[in-house]
Structure 1
Amino acid sequence: MKNICFVIPSLDAGGAEKALLNLLSVIDYTKYKVDLIVFIKKGIFLKQLPPQVTVISIEGNYTTFSLGLFSSIISSLKKGNLKLVFHRILFALKNRTSKNTSNAEQISWTNCSKSIPNFNKEYDVAIGALEKSSIYFVVDKLNAKSRIGWIHTNYSKSGMKKEFDINYFEKLNFLIAVSQECKDDLQLNFPKLKDAIKVIYNIVSPSLIQKLSTENITDINFNATQTTILTVARLSKEKGIDLALNASIELLKMGIQFKWYIIGDGSERNNLEQKIKENNLQETFILLGLKENPYPFVKQANIYIQPSRYEGKSIAIDEAKILQKPIIITNYPTAKDQIDNGVNGIISEMNGTAMAQNIVSLINNPTIIDNFCLNLKNENLGTESEIFKLYELFNESK
């Protein structure tokens, strides 16, 4: 039996986190003993993990380091750990002065890593299940015969600096992309690693999603007299919720009766709430927060929209396809990997006006919706077999 370790910052709601949960739900535990290292033991997916997974959180100095700046400094001073104080201050300065959050996580890793001990257990395979810190952790802190990194986004659009990542990627046996487009982009950025870059699609289970979608919803009432729109996404700049809000403003100008629900949370919540208030959208554009089971909401919605500025391969879109929803997504670089424009959904230009026009087009043309749903029904959308690609990489570890 091989010892496998996955690493991810937390199990808060997110596409990569959901993809990992799905993967861990289908892995063969008669062949693999699995540890999951999380930086912080929290997240709505924690209690959904299979019982065979051993969850390990980082403790000790990292617990102190991860506190707010003032609390972290005071706690470290009380312990006489001046070195940790120094690195905590540098960590804060780098994150506050960097204009790019992805690059900030890269350049501040050196300071963060000083609070994390090396793990002595030897693994056959260690997998950084998310770009940046998870991969850096696998390389710097774990003893493993084989190392794998997982990239869930379009690298060129992510804001990450390849000059930093190349030092880590060269120490991996494999680098996994979630779509062919993401693989092509990685190979463009890291041509010397071309042969080590593989594609493994996010694992989704149609039978499980269909089953979970039957759960009753008690916190909102879907009104048959108006259009219900749904988006499941982190409230962050790259997910384009502000673009969806602009589309809502346009829809109101057109006199369309609708409610647009957003499932998710994130750093842009305060900005979005302010803009919702400024435009009197409180009753129309509604932030529902995190939902452990979003599928009943997707099932009952009339239209599903993903307004992202960039994606790797969105697991939320795959799930909406399984539930046969008419889908509109924005024209980010990897959009065509999931939606065949005009066949199983619409790829809209990346602005509120275009999205609003496409929404109205669907509302006024139910035949288009019927055709999209029929085409989705005929697609083979289950990807459980992708786990065998990962097994092949496991077996290549020495």
Structure 2
Amino acid sequence: MKKNLLFVIDSLVCAGAEKSLITLLTLLDYSKYSVDLMLFTHGELLEGLVPKEVNILRPLKYTDFSRLPLIEALMDTVKKTDIKMLSSRMKYSIGIRVKKYSNAQKARIYWESISDVIEHNPKTYDVAISYAQGIPTFYVAEKVKANKKIAWVNVSYRLDEREEKFQKKFYDLYDRIVAVSDSAKEILLETFPYYSDKVDIIYDINDPDIIANMANLGDKYADDFDGIRILTIGRLAHQKGYDIALEACKKLRESGIKFRWYVLGKGPLKEEIEEYIKKNDLSSHFILLGVTPNPYPFIKESDIYVQTSRFEGFGLAIAEARMLNIPVVTTRFDAVFNQMIDGENGIVVDMDAEAVCKGILRMMNDTVLRESIIKYLQLEKKGNVEEIEKFHQLMK
């Protein structure tokens, strides 16, 4: 008899956790599992890659309501004579405007504002999985009936005392917690040491065959640039260290090297980044490409992949660059040494613009090191599809 599984994630934008989930779903045996997938935001790029066997649940009533322009929402509320959803929406909207909040704080304010108007899932599952921290975790804990509940943590999750107290009541309702790297587990247990007996590690799953095939399909660089192509992939957010990247780009330009630094991603810092590019005359050097469901042709055509993150749960984009044999320069974030060997499969540098610039110049100019790294990449083990066995064990 098939096991009924539910996965819950915020959305399927083109980011690491989302790509990892798509890969996991692709590897499942659907003769053993019946799978529902719930999203809080619909219509994002990776939805088209969800296996046809997966049932994407219809949007929550509040999800539909929150997408309406405010005037339409007001009219909709009048028609239904139900002001509760509008009140919740206004409470959240006003709440997050008070000051700048972290993602964990935004998730708390959202749930405190909205949870009363979010309906329960009517089905009972064998296993329910929140595949991201924050809102999916709160939803599965409070709104889903399941024989087993599992929470994924795919970032380095440090919480202050208030957020720890708020989130503990949700994590207490989970049977297991999955961290995507050793360091992600260690950091989680700094906040929640009492969960040490129920935390497992399953690395973000990546399949080299899928990536190699997709690298030969779809869009690629449209310009005819013949210099060094640098690529960074990631949400345009503080976590990804774009301030470091921009300053490093400025220093690279001053060195006289012929290069272009491309970025695949979107996010809240787009306007700020564009302003910096304009102010510092970097429009020919630091190029925002937006997002694509298939970044692999861009990775394949790059000379260097650069990650300037302040923290990552694992660093899936680095793993993908390695699988396509592209040399990596990365900052020394918490989880970096779960996959990087400095000087062997890439260069690991301090978390500042000067160090990033020097690392890129070293990768460009030291041909012996560069060739050694590429050779190492060609020979090192590709992917980690065997991690799916750990998932199967959790489903028992």
Task: Give TM class, smaller chain.
Answer: over 0.9
Question: Residue deviations 1:95-139, cap 9 Å, x none?
Answer: 112422311212321222223111111100000011100111101
The 1:385/1:139 distance shift into structure 2, 3 A limit, reads: same
* 2:344 corresponding residue in structure 1: 343
Secondary structure of the 1:188 match is helix
C-alpha deviation, 1:229, in angstroms: 0.2
Question: Residue deviations 1:174-217, cap 9 Å, x none?
Answer: 11000011111212221211111000011111111112112364
Matches within 5 A, 1:157-172: 161-172=163-174
Matches within 5 A, 1:129-278: 129-156=131-158, 161-215=163-217, 217=219, 219-224=221-226, 226-278=227-279
* 2:30 corresponding residue in structure 1: 29
Question: Residue deviations 1:26-59, cap 9 Å, x none?
Answer: 0111100000011122111111111100001323
C-alpha deviation, 1:243, in angstroms: 1.4
The answer on whether the counterparts of 1:64 and 1:76 sit within 8 Å (CA) in structure 2 is no
2:212 partner letter? Q
The answer on whether the counterparts of 1:95 and 1:105 sit within 8 Å (CA) in structure 2 is no
Which stretches of structure 1, 4 residues or more, deviate above 6 A after TM superposition? 157-160
C-alpha deviation, 1:279, in angstroms: 1.0
2:112 to 110, 115, 121: 110
The 1:218/1:298 distance shift into structure 2, 3 A limit, reads: closer
How many residue pairs get aligned? The number is 394
Secondary structure of the 1:19 match is helix
* 2:302 corresponding residue in structure 1: 301
The answer on whether the counterparts of 1:69 and 1:92 sit within 8 Å (CA) in structure 2 is no
C-alpha deviation, 1:159, in angstroms: 11
Following the alignment from structure 1 to structure 2, what is the Cα–Cα distance between the partners of residues 288 and 363?
23
* 2:39 corresponding residue in structure 1: 38
Unaligned residue ranges in structure 2 (runs of 5+): none
The 1:363/1:173 distance shift into structure 2, 3 A limit, reads: same
Question: Residue deviations 1:328-383, cap 9 Å, x none?
Answer: 11111222222111121111111222111111111111111111112222221321
State TM-score, norm by structure 1.
Answer: 0.94
2:37 partner letter? L
C-alpha deviation, 1:67, in angstroms: 3.7
Unaligned residue ranges in structure 1 (runs of 5+): none
Following the alignment from structure 1 to structure 2, what is the Cα–Cα distance between the partners of residues 222 and 154?
39
The 1:178/1:324 distance shift into structure 2, 3 A limit, reads: same
* 2:382 corresponding residue in structure 1: 381
Following the alignment from structure 2 to structure 1, what is the Cα–Cα distance between the partners of residues 246 and 391?
39
What's the % identity of the aligned pairs? 32
Following the alignment from structure 1 to structure 2, what is the Cα–Cα distance between the partners of residues 38 and 160?
27
Following the alignment from structure 2 to structure 1, what is the Cα–Cα distance between the partners of residues 171 and 391?
18
Following the alignment from structure 2 to structure 1, what is the Cα–Cα distance between the partners of residues 141 and 316?
27
The 1:300/1:159 distance shift into structure 2, 3 A limit, reads: farther
The 1:158/1:20 distance shift into structure 2, 3 A limit, reads: farther
Secondary structure of the 1:166 match is helix
Secondary structure of the 1:57 match is coil
